[in-house]
Amino acid sequence: MINIKEDKKLNTLNHSCAHLLAQAVKHLYPQAKFWVGPVIEEGFYYDIDLGDKVIKDEDLPKIEKEMKKIAKDGKRIVRHELTKKEALEKFKDDEYKLDLISRMDENEQVISCYTQGDFTDLCRGPHVETVKLLKHFKLLKFSGAYWKNDAKNKMLQRIYGVCFENDEDLQNYLQELEERKQRDHRKIGKDQELFMTHELVGSGMPLWLPNGAIIRKQLENYIYEKEQKLGYKHVYTPCVGTTNLYKTSGHWDHYKENMFPEMKVDDEEFVLRPMNCPHHMLVYKNKLHSYRDLPVRIGEFATDFRYEASGAVKGLERVRCMCQNDAHLFVTPEQIGDEFKKVVKLILDVYEDFGLKNYKFRLSLRDPSDKEKYFDDDKMWNEAEAKLREVLNELNIDYFEAIGEAAFYGPKLDVEVKPAVGPDVTLSTCQLDFLLPRKFELTYIDNNGQKQTPVVLHRAIFGTFDRFTAFLIEETKGAFPVWLSPIQVNIIPVNNTYHLEYAEEIFKLLNDKNIRVELDSREEKLGYKMRESQTRKIPYTLILGDKEKENQEISYRKFGSNETTTLKIADFIDMILNKITNKEN
Ligand code: TSB
Ligand code: ZN
């Protein structure tokens, strides 16, 4: 998909289309007042105050129709420049425009408006010459949006649209959008019964259903095994801590707005934990360490709670209750490079196992001017950032840098991916931290018998099981490799009267080998059951009839193939177990 915001021609076209939208809305709802209508990567939107009116599904076609009418009428789009005084006078009844104008400095910028027929809007431009050129557009969706993004303000109506130069581009885009909707993990999650949400449990709190739980368990086993081999020691710690714990760590000062509010129990004040680092610092501190023990690698599949804005929560991808594949690595300063390198290699290794290719490394740095957000120690930041760059260059890793994306305790390397719908998100992360070990007064004894402070690497390979699963669902479009698939084999007897007994026999054989198998003994047509097995994206569908029963064989179809293969039952079991072990498709 082309980035409309960055394509000069499309940017102008979409911006002009936003004005066309506003004009049509004004015709239909004369009370309308307009806030801003920017161009975004995938089109444009306009934030509109419609008084009590709330936009509904059926309104979009009406607005679109009016837009078409205005466009056909073909008025020119004319620019006027104004002084600030004139602008304030012209828009004196519009609190939104007054807010914008009052913040403008006429010595620094020209104040301009654009008029098309009966509609004038304050705007920097540029625009196309006439509304006639706006032909190939579509209104896509709408939502509520607080004025200036602040929940204390009035909720405005935001309408999204997109405009192209020709119909072919528009149709291609709409088709891609449809494909992305089909791939959306929220849709597949529902269709395949992977997870659910319920308002009684709460927003951003998904419930993993049996099918989803199988996938999660496989992920847990997979990464646990890898981490064991790499010398990680796993722990279990509570998903609450006292407020004091988070005051000690600095989260209370730097991360409070992302946390659930505190709760009092007897004389203690608790918070649901947003991160596990403080608990792991205390686990480290539980005993004395010599430089010979380092690196100490403490891992946990740890549940965290974070306050995410209600408009931002999304399926499994952005939740308020999540489970991190977390670990904190305690190292000597000399070990930072090596240990960081091992983490990056583990990330690469895991992505390879899952066949993931669409990701980018982002080196997330602090914004040096933001002394509030980031802990203030220039030397520490400079050293840490330099160290990460050095390792990335050594490993020849392609990455981009992002100022202001660091954690409050240090710079980090993040893996960024693009979901089917919505903005990019981070999966894996590895974060360098010189601060928390100091706050918790952690030590190790060096080779001169002196106490030293270790450095900590925070790392999560999957990020959270929640977000990783969301991404995996979208990448595989719900057709999981056999080792992850909730149901690996679906058995269909050709005719229940003659073949059910044999099918049950095969079911037992597979089930005994821990192969996840289902037997479809419903009184439905064979063709119907086979089609359904495909729709459910089950990797292997077995069809058992006379021939198979007679020869102690099975016939199978793989997902996505129309070919039928016949094998001796033992050979089939060998084959599928091999694929599961080797994580092959
Ligand atoms: C890696 N203290 C570190 C940890 O030791 C930490 O918490 N880092 S984090 O804040 O970046 O979170 C780790 C990962 O959790 C992120 O990389 C991201 O993949 C995932 N994550 C963060 N917020 C959410 C959320 N709201 N929903 C789902 N996953 C999330
Ligand atoms: Zn951490």
Give the pLDDT score at 363.
94
Give the pLDDT score at 105.
82
Give the pLDDT score at 21.
96
DSSP strand E in 150-261: where? 155-164, 195-196, 207-208, 233-234, 240-242
Give the pLDDT score at 422.
86
Which CATH number is 8-179's, of 3.30.980.10, 3.40.630.30, 3.30.70.1450, 3.30.465.10?
Answer: 3.30.980.10
415 lines ligand 1 (CB under 6 A): no
Of the listed 279, 458, 467, 557, which one is catalytic? 458
**Quick check: is 247 catalytic?**
no
**Token pair 């993990």 is at which residue?**
185
Q: What's the whole-number average pLDDT of the chain?
A: 94
Ligand nearest the Cα atom of residue 408:
1
Give the pLDDT score at 164.
96
Buried b (16+ CB within 10 A) or exposed e, 109-147: eebebbebeebbbbbeeebbebbebbbbbbbbebeebbb
Q: For residues 419 and 470, is the Cβ–Cβ distance under 8 A? A: yes
Give the pLDDT score at 330.
98
Q: For residues 412 and 357, is the Cβ–Cβ distance under 8 A? A: no
- The residues with which 301 forms a beta bridge, in sequence order, are 325
Domain 8-179 and domain 489-581, same fold? Reply is no
DSSP secondary structure code for residue 273 in this structure? -
CA of 1 relative to ligand 1 center, distance in Å: 28
Rounded CA gap, 326 and 277, in Å?
9
Q: Which class is 195-476 in CATH?
A: alpha beta
**Quick check: is 326 catalytic?**
yes
178 φ/ψ angles, rounded to the nearest 5 degrees = -65, -45
Of the listed 158, 251, 306, 536, which one is catalytic? 306
Give the pLDDT confidence of 63-76 residue by residue, as tens digits: 999 999 999 988 88
Give the pLDDT score at 57.
93
Of the listed 314, 328, 536, 537, which one is catalytic? 328
Nearest to 100, CA basis, from 384, 90, 523: 90
For ligand 1, atom 3, the nearest C-alpha belongs to: 458
Rounded CA gap, 421 and 181, in Å?
7
Rounded CA gap, 14 and 160, in Å?
11
Give the pLDDT score at 328.
98
CA of 364 relative to ligand 1 center, distance in Å: 14
Q: For residues 70 and 133, is the Cβ–Cβ distance under 8 A? A: no
For a mutational test of ligand 1's pocket, the pick from 308, 416, 467, 473, i.e. the residue with the most ligand atoms closer than 8 A to its C-beta, is 467
Instruction: Give the residue extent of every domain in the chain.
Output: 8-179, 195-476, 489-581
For a mutational test of ligand 1's pocket, the pick from 373, 464, 465, 472, i.e. the residue with the most ligand atoms closer than 8 A to its C-beta, is 464
**pTM greater than 0.85 (yes/no):** yes
Ligand 1 atom, smallest distance to 430 CA: 1
**Token pair 């010189």 is at which residue?**
434
Give the pLDDT score at 392.
92
For a mutational test of ligand 1's pocket, the pick from 300, 318, 324, i.e. the residue with the most ligand atoms closer than 8 A to its C-beta, is 324
Please give the CATH number for the structural domain made up of 489-581.
3.40.50.800
136 lines ligand 1 (CB under 6 A): no
CA of 412 relative to ligand 2 center, distance in Å: 11
Contacting residues for 561 by C-beta, under 8 A, at least 6 apart: none
Give the pLDDT confidence of 439-487 residue by residue, as tens digits: 999 999 999 999 999 999 999 999 999 999 999 999 999 999 999 999 9
For ligand 1, atom 12, the nearest C-alpha belongs to: 463
Rounded CA gap, 409 and 440, in Å?
13
| DSSP H helical ranges for 43-118 | 59-73, 84-90, 95-102
Give the pLDDT score at 408.
83
> Which residues of the chain have a pLDDT value below 70?
none
